[in-house]
Amino acid sequence: MKKALLTALAASLLLACRAPEVKGVQAAAEALGGKDKILAVRTLTITGEGENPNLGQNVTPDAPLTVWKVTEFEQTIDLEKGRMRIEQVRTAQFPFALATTARQNMALDGDVAWNVNQDGTSTRLTEREAQDRRLQLLHHPVTILRAALDPTAKLSNSRKQGDRQLIDITTAKGDMLTLAIDTITRLPVSVSSTTDQPNLGDVLIETSFSQYEDFGGLKLPMRLTTKIDKWVQSDIRVSKNTVNGSAADLAAPAAVSAEAPAPADPPIEVTAEQVAPGIWWLAGSGNHRSVAFAFADHLTLFELPESEARAKAVIEKVHSLAFGKPLTEVIVSHHHFDHSAGLRLAVSEGLTIITQSGNVAFFKDLVARKHTLVPDELARNGAAPRIKIRPVDDELVLKDDAMELDLYHVKDNSHSDTLLMGWVPRDHILVQADLYDSGWLKYPWADNLKANVALRKLQVEKDVPIHGTIESYADVLKRMAEKQIEEKQERAGTRARP
Ligand SMILES: [Zn+2]
Ligand SMILES: [Zn+2]
């Protein structure tokens, strides 16, 4: 009797001084419809449409992001088995040289993440991508509260931020997220987690929930907006929430789970082809190239693209060519993330960055950012990064006894307004990025390329590109003209249809 009384007393004391984290999670669960309602959700299918802004691909570093319009969106989550599939169809709302409509199928089963390609084949992703997808699964009020209510989850660091209570949650799996709860309605307002973005480094990914509606006693948000750092990455307007519907089988196919996760650093091949005395075109795997120029006492690179790993391989290749001259500078054609991927490595190597003036502030920001989750070379070398930048406004002539390379700002280009192209007067060589690639499906910048060549009065003989293959300029003009005629005919054909 006495013991029972003591136990009851202890329980009530425990209740009275229950941690604010526990109280916060329980209040949020109550606001959503109650713990039992949340735990009864086995599958959830979210159907809707919206937008996917295109990170790191804006016309200038400060311009709004270009946007993929998401016309079909369906996210299915199996909460009991930790599985998820997102299927969506999106269409580019900006000039684009490849397929402007893409169907995506992104899946997760426990620790196995994979994409189903348009041809039906599957590609297993890296362990980090699987972790990111696990976190993504928890960016929903139902999934995060279910994880927070799990007795093995750790709740900590309750704090107030305006009209929100923030609670850190370490899931049973060890993943860390922060839940924000509205202090008035007690409904979850957002979930955030951190990850690495190769260009930006440590970034916060935050999904905000709004426009809650009632589904048989369970409140679910009708709008899900995900930001990476300050940029919106996905904004979905939900048309339908299906709880415990007949979800398709979300299990990883045996062939995918038997496969090892994709390596974090896939092998990169860099080839070197001499295109003129003192000029080497560095191609190889992938479709991002660099061009090396031998000046009298130093080497200059045009572009260090695609990834830090590729940038490293390109620099190694340049050193192996044994010019007996130091590499001192790199031209970064524009700020788009694939083209500026080697920026931080270049700074780490002490190279001077040559770029259009409009990129300078953004490049300084990229160099100053923290990369602690996945440290890159610049983060590892420890010293406070010092960026040496030589900005180009309209034109810059790099010239000595051995080489001349002229750089020009590409005018009136709808893909990038801070783009530089290169010109070698001795050999009539044009070095360009994103104006023309022999492998493109169409040529949205054909007229812009011709206009810029005419503006600078260049008698181009050879195109030595950052994407695609080396071609005579006559062939470039011919291919662009053929495509333009085809496109005109297609448009006319479409119009003629009833
Ligand atoms: Zn670009
Ligand atoms: Zn490009």
Between the CA of 416 and the centroid of ligand 1 the distance, in Å, is: 6
Of 310, 374, 366, nearest in space to 335 by CA: 366
Between the CA of 168 and the centroid of ligand 1 the distance, in Å, is: 38
Locate 248 and state its tokens.
């398709």
Confidence of residue 18 (pLDDT cuts 50, 70, 90): confident
Confidence of residue 42 (pLDDT cuts 50, 70, 90): very high
What does the buried/exposed string (b/e) look like for 205-226 if buried means 16 or more CB atoms within 10 Å of the residue's CB?
Answer: bbbbbeebeebeebbbbbebbb
Please check the confidence at residue 497 and state whether its pLDDT lies above 50.
no
Between the CA of 434 and the centroid of ligand 2 the distance, in Å, is: 5
Per-residue pLDDT at 3: 59
Identify the nearest ligand to the CA of 95 by its number.
1
Please check the confidence at residue 10 and state whether its pLDDT lies above 60.
no
Identify the nearest ligand to the CA of 414 by its number.
1
Between the CA of 259 and the centroid of ligand 2 the distance, in Å, is: 31
pLDDT in tens, 77-127: 999 999 999 999 999 999 999 989 999 999 999 999 999 998 999 999 999
Between the CA of 338 and the centroid of ligand 2 the distance, in Å, is: 7
Identify the nearest ligand to the CA of 465 by its number.
2
pLDDT in tens, 177-208: 999 999 999 999 999 999 999 999 999 999 99
Percent of the chain with pLDDT over 70: 96
Between the CA of 434 and the centroid of ligand 1 the distance, in Å, is: 6
Confidence of residue 490 (pLDDT cuts 50, 70, 90): confident
Confidence of residue 9 (pLDDT cuts 50, 70, 90): low
Contact 436, 445 (CB under 8 A): yes
Between the CA of 355 and the centroid of ligand 1 the distance, in Å, is: 14
Between the CA of 410 and the centroid of ligand 1 the distance, in Å, is: 12
pLDDT in tens, 131-149: 999 999 999 999 999 999 9
pLDDT in tens, 278-297: 999 999 999 999 999 999 99
State phi, psi for 381 to the nearest 5 degrees: -75, -5
Between the CA of 336 and the centroid of ligand 2 the distance, in Å, is: 7
Confidence of residue 385 (pLDDT cuts 50, 70, 90): confident
Identify the nearest ligand to the CA of 334 by its number.
1
Please check the confidence at residue 2 and state whether its pLDDT lies above 60.
no
pLDDT in tens, 212-271: 999 999 999 999 999 999 999 999 999 999 999 977 789 999 999 999 999 998 999 999
Identify the nearest ligand to the CA of 437 by its number.
2
Per-residue pLDDT at 412: 98
Identify the nearest ligand to the CA of 466 by its number.
2
Q: d(Cα 203, Cα 370) in Å, to the nearest integer?
A: 9
User: Residue 201, by phi and psi: left (phi above 0), alpha (psi -120 to 50) or beta?
Assistant: left
Between the CA of 433 and the centroid of ligand 2 the distance, in Å, is: 6
Confidence of residue 312 (pLDDT cuts 50, 70, 90): very high
Q: d(Cα 171, Cα 150) in Å, to the nearest integer?
A: 8
Strand partners, 103: 89
| CA trace torsion 373, 377, 382, 385 (10° rounding) | -110
Q: Which string of DSSP letters, residue by residue, matches 226-239? A: EEETTEEEEEEEEE
Between the CA of 415 and the centroid of ligand 1 the distance, in Å, is: 6
Give the lowest-confidence range in 64-68, 167-171, 295-299, 321-325. Answer: 321-325
Confidence of residue 13 (pLDDT cuts 50, 70, 90): low
Please check the confidence at residue 150 and state whether its pLDDT lies above 90.
yes
Per-residue pLDDT at 1: 46
Range 407-418 average pLDDT: 98
Contact 409, 420 (CB under 8 A): yes
Identify the nearest ligand to the CA of 416 by its number.
1
Between the CA of 203 and the centroid of ligand 2 the distance, in Å, is: 24
Per-residue pLDDT at 247: 73
**Taking all residues of the chain, what is their mean pLDDT, rounded to a whole number?**
94
Between the CA of 460 and the centroid of ligand 1 the distance, in Å, is: 22
Identify the nearest ligand to the CA of 57 by its number.
1
Identify the nearest ligand to the CA of 440 by its number.
2
Contact 421, 407 (CB under 8 A): yes
Identify the nearest ligand to the CA of 415 by its number.
1
Per-residue pLDDT at 491: 81
Q: How far is CA 139 from CA 147, 168, 193, in A?
A: 11, 13, 9
Please check the confidence at residue 382 and state whether its pLDDT lies above 70.
yes
Between the CA of 382 and the centroid of ligand 1 the distance, in Å, is: 30
Which run of H or E residues covers position 26? helix 20-32
Between the CA of 337 and the centroid of ligand 2 the distance, in Å, is: 9
Identify the nearest ligand to the CA of 289 by its number.
2
- Spatial neighbors of 393 by CB under 8 A, at least 6 apart, are 356, 357, 409
Per-residue pLDDT at 14: 52
Confidence of residue 17 (pLDDT cuts 50, 70, 90): low
